[in-house]
Chain A
Amino acid sequence: MMSIAFQDTSNVLQARAEHNAKLALRADRKRVTWFPVVVLGLLLALPALQFVGNYNYVLHLILFTACYATMASGWNILGGFTGYISLGHNVFFCIGGYFAGMILARYGVSTLVTAPLAGLICAAVGYLIGRITLKTRGPSFIISSLALVMIARILFDNWHFVGGANGVALPANDLSVVWAKLPYYYAFVVLAAAAVFVSYKIKHSKFGLGLRAISKDEIKAESAGIDTRTYKTLAFAISAAFVGMAGAIWGEYLTYIRPNIFLVILVSVNMVLMCILGGKGTVAGPVIGAILIVAFNEIFVATLGSSELNILASGLIMALALMFFPLGVIGTLAAKHRLPRILNWD
């Protein structure tokens, strides 16, 4: 047995050496932190355009993109880092929206104030749900997440306190048309930045390493001493929190909350699609994906208009992306060592 044992270690040593070599190569590619910072600065300064004209449409597009970037980044923490694909994350979009929306409707407190609280609530609900559904894995988990949406839809449709299927109208803010979008614009840009920052921090932490281990091989991760259950439930909670905060502000921005704006499958699909298209499990991926999908929707809806075609197109993009582009923009570029430094946020 002696020589076999020796042979085994030599394999391990060689693999280790190769791995280290790769790491060294990667460390070589220095991160460019100035780029995201400059982008953020530009975005924060952009509303100054309102002094010279009406750029509400531009603001709306950016705000919408930032909203989805937040949600997709949040989804990515569970779906990308941890490998648990949820098609039911719009449930947290809904819970966040209703929680903050109802407070606004009843007590007049803006969702901009209550959004963090909505995030906490969603994290708690996400933690509890995750405690249960994360016992399943792979296809089972996906199906359970779908069942979750169905259950939530029936509950919200029939919950009279929150207006049932008709929902509740929310008061609009009293700013002039030129400035009315601004609070939400800033809120979403800040949220998106926070989501990206937190994703980055998680990815580079021991926690993130654990999540990636779970995504690769959960049984091995567990035998390596990772408390997989706690790890993945936490990932679920954090991920739900971001989606919930986005939901909170989204309701006030629309000036109404209603089950069929939150609990439609397209919202879930968009989150998944953005992550796949941009690059699942990367930090920049969800942002890139959000930009692509929002831009695409804008062009597509503007030219063709119908929601049926929107569903068809989304399905088509998703199928094509899964079949021919599974690594997404960031993943593919990285695999080819062509990722521009400014996009290497990992």
Chain B
Amino acid sequence: MSELLHVSNVTAGYGDGPAILDGAELTVEPGKVHCIIGPNGAGKSTLLKAICGMLKVRKGDVLYRGESLKGLRPDQVLRKGICFVPQERALFPKMTVRENMRMGGFSLPDTSNLEKRIDEIEERFPILKERRDQHAGTMSGGQQQTLAMARTMILKPDIVMLDEPSLGLAPKIVQEMFDIMRMMAAEGITILLVEQNALMGLKNSDWGVVLDLGKTLFSGPAKDVLQDPRIQDLYLGGSKAA
């Protein structure tokens, strides 16, 4: 089993605060969509922040292609090919859509191809082309999320981490976001998805991980996770009702 990213027994928290993650485990395989589920406050976002360098990994290790990411800054992790789209506010609301796209290429050492690259991506997301001179903050939630996801493609990353792309969106739009995500996966981008909407998240993923109280409780093929009666009872019941 080849692995791209391996999180082993990680402890992390905010500032001098208590450990929010305590014994988180995660294995990410190339080209697949991984979905992390768990109740609100479980530490899902915290895990992504620890991977991308926003939070210090206190114990354990994060290995990417066998190399430790521990101690790297977010921009260094980004340059290794891991993009993180944070929950909710991933955009610059008072910049235009086009400017937001340009910011997506900020870390490129050579920006001579940037405009062309953005044009290519805009071709694939007509809505972004249509709205290119509009302030990002004035677009609908779905459009904003589309922009945030499309923007990552500028860097041609290996891994894209998405924190609750479905948050606050209507079910139909949510499916659109997952379709974009699957499309990205089809192009060989490995996806690490965090979802509170566990049912929909797992249905659109290959691999499922259950995180609660800062620990990885379960990990397996998404359909197994979906069918496991214990998990259904504890973590899927709520989202089915909602």
Residues of A with Cβ closer than 8 Å to B? 1-4, 7
Contacts and interface: CB of A to CB of B under 8 A. Distances in A.
A137 B146 CA distance: 36
Most buried by B among A1, A4, A7: A4
A4 B236 CA distance: 13
A1 B213 contact: no
A7 B39 CA distance: 12
A1 B212 contact: no
Nearest to A11: B213
Interface in B32-56: 39
Interface in B188-242: 212-213, 234, 237-238
Nearest to A3: B234
Size class of the B contact interface (CB-based, 8 Å): under 10
A212 B191 CA distance: 46
Contacts of A1: 234, 237-238
Interface string B110-145: 000000000000000000000000000000000000
Contacts of A7: 212-213
Contacts of B237: 1
A71 B39 CA distance: 50
Nearest to B237: A1
10 contacts: A1-B234, A1-B237, A1-B238, A2-B234, A3-B234, A4-B39, A4-B212, A4-B234, A7-B212, A7-B213
Given A1-B237, A4-B212, A7-B213, 7 more contacts: A1-B234, A1-B238, A2-B234, A3-B234, A4-B39, A4-B234, A7-B212
A77 B234 CA distance: 48
A4 B233 CA distance: 11
A1 to B, nearest CB: 5
A2 B238 CA distance: 11
Question: 10 tightest A-B contacts by CB?
Answer: A4-B39, A1-B238, A3-B234, A7-B213, A1-B237, A4-B234, A1-B234, A4-B212, A2-B234, A7-B212
